[in-house]
Amino acid sequence: MIDKIKSEIAAVAAFSSSNAEEIENFRIKYLGSKGLLKTFFAAFKDVPNDQKKEFGQTVNALKNAAESKVNDLKEARASQEESKGVYGDLSRPGEPMAFGSRHPISIVKNKITDIFARIGFNVSEGPEIEDDWHNFTALNLPEYHPARDMQDTFFVAKDPDVLLRTHTSSVQVRYMENNKPPIRTISPGRVFRNEAISARSHCFFHQIEGLYVDKGVSFADLKQTLQYFTTEMFGKSEIRLRPSYFPFTEPSAEIDVYWGLETETDHKITKGTGWLEIGGCGMVDPNVLENCKIDPNEYSGFAFGVGIDRIAMLLYQIPDIRMLSENDVRFLEQFKASI
């Protein structure tokens, strides 16, 4: 019998729980009105006299052990509950808050609009789904003009033509139709072309269109504005305007920036020439001004269009244009910007 009680003392010592029900069951098992202790005390009278002392001490030890165990466990539970409170454990370290990041296209777009805002350009936008007039005809690309074929257009509907704009030059037209000179506006946006998707080209990408219309605007103003832009954007002030053709400008030019030939990457991105093409520009064709009800005898203007995706790929060394639209968080979270 004494051995049995001793093994119960060991069991009591080993017991632990923070569960209220388990603690209560434990109490009932030992200290309850039909508990083990009651049984042991009842057995006392049958214990031979010479063992009574040891027996009594052992049962008392079990009683004390069980009582203090129950008290300890209840206390521990109470303090645990208390510290949890309504808000949980207030001393716990806070959950780290995940910050989002801006898309590289947005970073570059914001930088460009910011640079032009400093010289008085506002931001304007137009619809991605356009009509023929704003995307082509008003821009001096009448029906059957061969240059229309160059812009592999996605058509949404025929007669009248509804299409996905192939360039942000369409916003020029909308802006001139709705605003009187002096005009200084920059129009960022997404454009669409039915091109095979590869590492270098996609069926949608982003452009920024610039438009300046006022009295006496000259080609020198255009060049100076672009030079200011490349200096602010890339830290490169040497530019080259290569004669080219666009139906909506006359004269027209391709914009090249002197990127340099210092590193291997410089060689790669400029194909060994040091020059990098960033877009097209020119003096707004008088026909375009007329189409937008602006008198070309009174006003002149310049316009330019720059590709945003290319600039982002260049600045961040992004090897494949498709990465810009795959929404891979591991790629996107690498871009941190304050703008």
Site residues (CB under 6 A) for ligand DAH?
A: 167, 169, 209, 246, 249, 280-282, 303-305
Least distance (Å) from ligand DAH to the CB of residue 125? 15
Class of residue 231 by CB neighbours under 10 A (exposed 0-12, middle 13-18, buried 19+):
middle
Q: Which two tokens stand for residue 157?
A: 């509907």
Least distance (Å) from ligand DAH to the CB of residue 279? 6
* Residues forming beta bridges with residue 284, ordered by sequence position: 249
Report angle CA 311, 316, 321 to the nearest 5 degrees: 65
Least distance (Å) from ligand DAH to the CB of residue 208? 9
CA dist list (Å): 290 to 173, 187, 287: 11, 21, 5
Least distance (Å) from ligand DAH to the CB of residue 111? 19
Nearer to ligand DAH, 66 or 284 (CB): 284
CA dist list (Å): 260 to 158, 224, 235, 306, 318: 47, 20, 11, 20, 19
Least distance (Å) from ligand DAH to the CB of residue 217? 13
Sign, CA dihedral 114-120-123-126, equals: negative
Least distance (Å) from ligand DAH to the CB of residue 156? 19
Nearer to ligand DAH, 30 or 304 (CB): 304
Nearer to ligand DAH, 73 or 289 (CB): 289
- Strands of 162-164's sheet in order across: 129-131, 162-164, 155-157
Nearer to ligand DAH, 119 or 150 (CB): 150
Nearer to ligand DAH, 181 or 305 (CB): 305
State the DSSP H helix or E strand holding residue 190, giving kind and residue range, or none if neither.
strand 183-192
Least distance (Å) from ligand DAH to the CB of residue 115? 17
Nearer to ligand DAH, 70 or 186 (CB): 186
**CA–CA distance, 210 with 230 (Å, rounded to integer):** 14
Percent of residues in the chain assigned helix, strand, coil, to nearest 5? 45, 20, 35
Listed residue (157, 176, 175, 154) closest to 166, CA to CA: 154
Tell me which amino acid residue 317 is.
Q
Least distance (Å) from ligand DAH to the CB of residue 262? 29
**CA–CA distance, 235 with 214 (Å, rounded to integer):** 28
Nearer to ligand DAH, 58 or 185 (CB): 185
Q: Which two tokens stand for residue 167?
A: 């360039």
3 state DSSP class of 76? helix
Nearer to ligand DAH, 249 or 270 (CB): 249
Nearer to ligand DAH, 65 or 171 (CB): 171
Least distance (Å) from ligand DAH to the CB of residue 139? 8
